[in-house]
Structure 1
């Protein structure tokens, strides 16, 4: 069977939604949880469109809220596939809000959702490859590939060590760089 490839534009998604008072938190700004829910939905749609199957969220890379979103603003979420593995995809999402009275647009956050393709039995399934057709797409793909490789190495490094190894002076001295106090009188 010939391996299938899809273009980034073929699964790109953009949604727009007006922010309502029911979406606000106690301070009157749009609740971050509401924005995260919308981001998860757009990531699902983008990944499912690319893989042509059901997808689940496996991980969300750091979400940093750069600017608050106000009630009455129009929120735009743009999602695209930045990276594909064998069964997973990284969806890049950019969130912007627009003051519909003035037309002022602000970048509110960007995040990366790792989505995994599933078959009808709930097993992971292979996803199409990605056709990369711009310098920005190359940069995004390689940045994501580097992060995937780094995370695998980091997980292996910390999971393969015994607890006693972290008691070594090299590791303990690293803790002095952080806002922690060590009180080792009990075992976990």
Structure 2
């Protein structure tokens, strides 16, 4: 099995935000940013694996700060985790006001990408060389996130879900239960 360092596949993309990228409120459309994030995650995963990659899932997308027309947006992507055929790519989005130099953290997200061979079947990816504490932290966090996701999915399957355990919680929300 082969291994690659995190720095071997890191990608940085910077783009000027144009009026054509904006929504009705004059801010950059979130869907446009998601598209850029998916592109940079694809590039990073493909560079690491040496294969065509597809997006399997996106974990948690929070838009922290709006992006204005005329700002530079920089997307940074790196491999946080490698499985047998999948990789978790961490993507960080920052905007910069060209005139003032003020930078804002706008979004961070995690894309699970799967490597595919020419026949469209999953192929094994190189492992990841972890050579600093940040890399170890990100790899461990990805493992924990996967375990939490599996537990969450299992507890909410129709076979495992117990509604009575959630009724009091739901009553505190903006919902009305009529059973």
Q: Which runs of 5+ in 2 are unaligned?
A: none
**SS of corresponding position for 2:80:** strand
1:118: which partner in 2? 116
One of 163, 169, 173 as aligned partner of 1:178: 173
**SS of corresponding position for 1:75:** strand
1:40: which partner in 2? 38
The TM-score, its normalising length taken from structure 1, stands at: 0.90
In 2, are the aligned partners of 1:166 and 1:172 still within 8 Å (CA)? Answer: no
Q: Which runs of 5+ in 1 are unaligned?
A: none
TM-superposed CA distance for 1:160, in Å, is 6.6
Q: For residues 130 and 40 of structure 1, what CA distance do their matches in structure 2 show?
A: 21
> How many aligned positions are there?
179
Q: How does 1:6-17 map to 2 (within 5 A)?
A: 6-17=4-15
Q: For residues 156 and 118 of structure 2, what CA distance do their matches in structure 1 show?
A: 35
Q: Which protein shows a greater Rg?
A: 1
The TM-score, its normalising length taken from structure 2, stands at: 0.94
TM-superposed CA distance for 1:171, in Å, is 3.5
One of 17, 20, 23 as aligned partner of 1:22: 20
Q: CA RMSD in A?
A: 1.4
TM-superposed CA distance for 1:173, in Å, is 3.1
TM-superposed CA distance for 1:172, in Å, is 2.9
In 2, are the aligned partners of 1:19 and 1:75 still within 8 Å (CA)? Answer: yes
Q: For residues 170 and 149 of structure 1, what CA distance do their matches in structure 2 show?
A: 22
